[in-house]
Amino acid sequence: RNNITDALQRAVEQCQSGDVLFLHYSGHGGRLPDDNGDEDDGYDETLIPVDFERAGQIRDDDLYRLFVVPMREGVHVTCLMDCCHSGTVMDLPYRFVADGDNVRMERDGGFNFDGLLGL
């Protein structure tokens, strides 16, 4: 867990406006009951590190707080999350859909800025 969160924080610290960052995670993903009321479906999506039984899972709220919010303006970030329940694991107000019939960006109409701004 710490290796993942430390790497995210280092990326945030090192990236400058104009940089391009590709973030790739391949591993286990999951869901836990929402702990702060910001999820329409009642669940936080998670990354499950190898030491999750001791250190815990990494919630989408953690990713938003550690990586999305502090990222400098002007940094172009592409994230590829190869895990279960990854569609909204970055807690963004939009998502990329490629379901075999469609390829598009769509806004998440239920996105709750108020819940995330309080992090």
pLDDT tens series, the chain, 119 aa: 999 999 999 999 999 999 999 999 999 999 999 998 888 788 999 999 999 999 999 999 999 999 999 999 999 999 999 999 877 788 787 777 788 888 888 887 666 666 555 55
**Is residue 84 among the annotated active site residues?**
yes
> What pLDDT, on the 0 to 100 scale, is given for residue 41?
84
> What pLDDT, on the 0 to 100 scale, is given for residue 114?
64
> What pLDDT, on the 0 to 100 scale, is given for residue 112?
64
22 Cβ contact partners less than 8 Å away, ≥ 6 residues apart: 77, 78, 79, 80
Active-site choice (24, 28, 76, 79): 28
> What pLDDT, on the 0 to 100 scale, is given for residue 49?
97
> What pLDDT, on the 0 to 100 scale, is given for residue 118?
58
Active-site choice (76, 83, 84, 85): 84
> What pLDDT, on the 0 to 100 scale, is given for residue 95?
76
> What pLDDT, on the 0 to 100 scale, is given for residue 53?
97
**Is residue 28 among the annotated active site residues?**
yes
Distance CA 87, CA 80 (A): 10
